[in-house]
Structure 1
């Protein structure tokens, strides 16, 4: 499912992608999308279905359930939506995610735009809170506690 999500999000024409490189190797990526393009339309889901089927196979209904549940929490006002943020396992805990997030938020702060994200990784909540995000809601989706976080415009 993670691979399918990355294909969908990073393949969107509305994606704003930042990459982190160390010694010529991609070690991290941050994807963000500006509202109202944060959630896929039904047409976009149908268009991506063949790629998703090849990538995640029988997990496709599960993936659509997760997307649908998360979409209910999407703010209905202008904002940037961050996700996914991914750092290679060997590079985690070395500041890559912090650098990506900081660089992106510097850009967003110049626009004075709020930011929304969701996470189901406990340790990431602390990182996002350091950048001014607050948990505004949470939901258990398919047994996973997902936090939805918001950062006011600066």
Structure 2
């Protein structure tokens, strides 16, 4: 995810800085998802090569505590980065608020050297199985056209697309199967 267009736009050109920023933002969010959502990891021996998560209904928006922890991280990247992240989160929150009760997919990420080898598909398949067992509506956002194609293979349909901080985002949902 470090090299996703939105992350480059929001956090700048330095890949080390982007990765550090994403780790600091996602770690508390994923810890919270462990409580009520679902997180899967793909491993090659002891190495984590992929991760996929679902936030349970009502658990996908950042809490006040999440925002408080993220603010110093964002400000460390400068005010432009913080303002871009604010604009980005506002669009996502507006779209999310219009969805009925749903399971929110994200993040789904695979180490670059493992992409294209089925890791993401296996993780996504397991998440979709969980959605089906729960009879849950799945929802996600992506900024990569190749991800749109991947998600469509698993039954996600594009609801809308719009620019977010200058990068096109697709908003997708999946009805439970069966």
Give the structure-1-normalised TM-score.
Answer: 0.88
Whether the aligned pair in 2 keeps the contact of 1:135 and 1:150 (CA below 8 Å) is yes
Q: Please say if residues 162 and 169 of structure 2, whose CA atoms lie closer than 8 Å, have aligned partners that are also in contact.
A: yes
Preserved CA contact (<8 Å) 2:25 2:73: no
Greater strand content: 1
Structure with more helix by fraction? 2
- 1:53-86 CA-to-partner distances (Å, cap 9, x unmatched) read 45x4542221121111111111442110001111
Does 2:12 correspond to 1:29?
A: no
- C-alpha RMSD of the superposition: 2.0
Match 2:129 to one of 97, 106, 115: 106
Q: Conserved in 2, the CA contact under 8 Å of 1:82 and 1:117?
A: yes
Aligned to 2:71: 49
Structure 2 unmatched runs, 5+: 1-10, 12-17
Alignment partners' CA distance in 1, 2:28 and 2:163: 22
TM-aligned CA deviation for residue 52 of structure 1: 4.2
Residue ranges of structure 1 left out of the alignment (5+ in a row): none
Per-residue deviation, residues 95-131 of structure 1 (Å, max 9, x unmatched): 0100100011111211111100010101010110000
For 1:71, what is the secondary structure of its paired residue?
A: helix
Change (3 A) 1:5 1:137: farther
Aligned length: 153
Partner-residue secondary structure (3-state), 2:59: coil
